[in-house]
Amino acid sequence: MVSDCIKALSSLTHVHPLSMDTAEAERIGILCADDQPVFTAVASRLRDAGYEVRFFDPRSELSPSHIDDLALLVNKQVFPRNVPALRVARRTGTPLWNNLVATIALSSRLIGLRALEAVGFRTPRITFEKPEFEYVAKPYYIWDGDVELNGEGGFYQELIVTDPVDYKYYTIHDEARVQTAAKCVTSKLYGPKRFLNQVRPRPMLTRRLRRLVNRLDLRGVGVDFVKDAEGRFWAVDINLAAGYRNSGLEPALCKSIRASLPD
């Protein structure tokens, strides 16, 4: 089943980019809280470029009437109650920023891990019963709650022995170019997440991220890594609802969204 999903994702195509000279008050919807700092800044850039932008609460039901007049829906964050409207959008020709099949498939953490493995990332082993070694308990779906150290979950991922630091990588695709940024944050397994600093993306990880976005036809994705005592990076999560904070990718996000508009 997982391999079938990966094959389906790999076969997707996307819409053609918009000429940068043709913006005429087209309406763009963003499925995201309207106080999210990065996408608020992106919306401001889009408005300055002549677009109309409207935010939709991702936790509220999105009806087909909400998207009838949109040129593009930026599905930054999706919950189950939004999926029927996203299917309507696809059926009626309203483009989505991240394609629907990837959005649904990668909401499953297990499929997300399989997708990371498929492009060459090292991932921790998982079990479906509590193991004897230290672990991170995770819900099956990204919208079902947070992960927990040695707690209860749908499945259990081996805890990689490392400093309590996560490396967050963000990749944006604008049809012409793939851009990646990375930062260090304190691990939320041990307390509130806190930004530490930006870091230079590792070329090997960047190449595999480029392979991931090309294979799954993604426009924006976040991947979390940890580094073990031997300096090896382990991919532990994939996130299509990434916040992109402290990434400096606001211009790239804006360009990617504009490139996703139909001709």
**Is the pLDDT confidence value at 7 over 70?**
no
* Token code pair at residue 93: 């020709």
Q: How confident is the model at residue 24 (pLDDT cuts 50, 70, 90)?
A: low
Distance CA 164, CA 61 (A): 37
What are the pLDDT digits (tens) for 50-94? 999 999 999 888 888 888 899 999 999 999 999 999 999 988 899
Percent of the chain residues past pLDDT 90, beyond the cut: 81
Percent of the chain residues past pLDDT 70, beyond the cut: 91
Distance CA 89, CA 68 (A): 8
> What is the reported pLDDT for 18?
37
> What is the reported pLDDT for 19?
38
- Each residue of 152-179: b (16+ CB within 10 Å) or e? ebebbbbbbebeeebbbbbbbbbbeebb
**Is the pLDDT confidence value at 177 over 80?**
yes
Question: Which of 39-48, 59-68, 177-186, 191-200 is predicted least confidently?
Answer: 59-68
* Single-letter amino acid code for the residue at 46: L
> What is the reported pLDDT for 16?
36
**Is the pLDDT confidence value at 150 over 50?**
yes
> What is the reported pLDDT for 1?
45
Between 18 and 244, name the one with better pLDDT: 244
Distance CA 10, CA 136 (A): 29
Domains defined along the chain, listed by start:
2-106+250-259 (3.40.50), 125-159 (no CATH)
Q: How confident is the model at residue 200 (pLDDT cuts 50, 70, 90)?
A: very high
- 226 and 235 in contact (C-beta within 8 Å)? no
SS3 130: coil
- Token pair 């993604």 is found at 218
